[in-house]
């Protein structure tokens, strides 16, 4: 939509979005946010035009290779959420190298959700539990969480949706059960530090009840 508003090809809109990753992550790091997840490519996005998908995945590969050293220097640990094996080999390699390089960093954990779907994540967890023949009486929320892609990470506190959409699009549907939602009409390429800090301020003013009165 950003590209359409500016009379540009769709891929140029994706490029503008990719360029926004670095300043947003820098701002999150400055605010001492320990965990963040960027939703880059869903399992449903394969249904887009082939040339757009190819260009988008190449853009992810370029962005990871471009920023990984800076992220590493700033103490950021990178993780991937989703099915890696279905992505192009070059992107798989970039992701694997980034994960290996940053695995011991502790200042911030940044998850890249690429070829990710919330329902698929839950199905994968169920399949692994069944494959390991875990007794039914041993299955509880704590065990189930350990089979999710986000094992070892806390639940989502704040979910930000840009672009005027009022849906979460199959994103972290288990982890976001008690998260606060922030919706904005601002498109992702225009979602700058000021907009992010506005979202953080709104979140800080909310009272979280977690089902309690």
- pLDDT tens figures, 25-40: 999 999 999 999 999 9
Range of the domain at 188: 2-116+158-165+179-203
Considering the entire predicted model, what is its pTM?
0.92
Does the residue 190 lie in any domain?
Answer: yes
Distance from C-alpha of 184 to C-alpha of 160, rounded to nearest angstrom: 8
- Percent of the chain residues past pLDDT 70, beyond the cut: 98
Instruction: List the beta strands (DSSP E) in the chain.
Output: 35-42, 76-81, 108-116, 158-161, 180-183
Q: Are 147 and 129 in contact (CB under 8 A)?
A: yes
pLDDT value, residue 191: 97
In tens, the pLDDT along 11-27 reads: 788 899 999 999 999 99
Residue 213 pLDDT = 59
- Asked if the model's pLDDT at residue 210 lies above 80, the reply is no
Position 1 confidence tier, pLDDT thresholds 50, 70, 90: confident
Domain count, the chain: 1
Tell me whether residue 137 is in a domain: no
DSSP character at residue 151: T
4 confidence band (pLDDT: 50, 70, 90): confident
pLDDT computed for residue 141 by the predictor: 97
Asked if residue 2 has pLDDT above 80, the reply is no
| Dihedral sign (CA 43, 44, 49, 52) | negative
Asked if the structure places residue 124 within a domain, the reply is no
Classify residue 210: in a domain, yes or no: no
> What is the structure's pLDDT at 209?
75
> Residue 155 is encoded by which pair of tokens?
């639940």
pLDDT in tens, 122-169: 999 999 999 999 999 999 999 999 999 999 999 999 999 999 999 999
**pLDDT above 90 for 8:** no
Residue 147 lies in a domain: no
The answer to whether residue 73 sits within a structural domain is yes
DSSP classification of residue 76? E
pLDDT, position 11: 78
Average of per-residue pLDDT values in the chain:
95
With respect to residue 91, please indicate whether it lies within any of the assigned structural domains. yes
CATH code for the domain in which residue 27 is found: 3.40.1180.10
Q: Tell me, what's the pLDDT at 169?
A: 94
State the average pLDDT over residues 167-176. 96
């Amino acid at each position: 939509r950003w590209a359409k508003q500016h009379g540009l090809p769709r891929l140029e809109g994706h490029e503008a979005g990719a360029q926004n990753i670095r300043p947003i992550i820098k701002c999150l790091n400055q605010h001492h946010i320990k965990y963040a997840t960027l939703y880059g490519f869903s399992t449903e996005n394969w249904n887009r035009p082939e040339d757009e998908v190819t260009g988008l995945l190449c853009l992810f590969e370029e962005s990871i290779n471009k920023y990984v050293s800076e992220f590493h220097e700033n103490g950021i640990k990178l993780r991937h959420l989703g099915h890696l094996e279905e992505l192009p080999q070059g992107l798989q390699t970039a992701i694997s190298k980034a994960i290996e390089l940053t695995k011991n960093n502790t200042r911030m954990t940044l998850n890249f959700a690429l070829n990710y779907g919330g329902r698929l994540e839950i199905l994968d967890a169920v399949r692994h539990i069944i494959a390991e023949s875990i007794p039914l009486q041993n299955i509880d929320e704590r065990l189930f969480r350990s089979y999710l892609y986000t094992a070892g990470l806390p639940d989502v506190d704040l979910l930000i949706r840009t672009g005027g959409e009022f849906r979460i699009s199959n994103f972290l549907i288990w982890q976001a059960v008690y998260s606060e939602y922030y919706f904005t009409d601002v498109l992702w390429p225009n979602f700058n530090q000021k907009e992010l800090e506005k979202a953080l301020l709104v979140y800080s003013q909310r009272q979280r009840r977690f089902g309690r009165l």
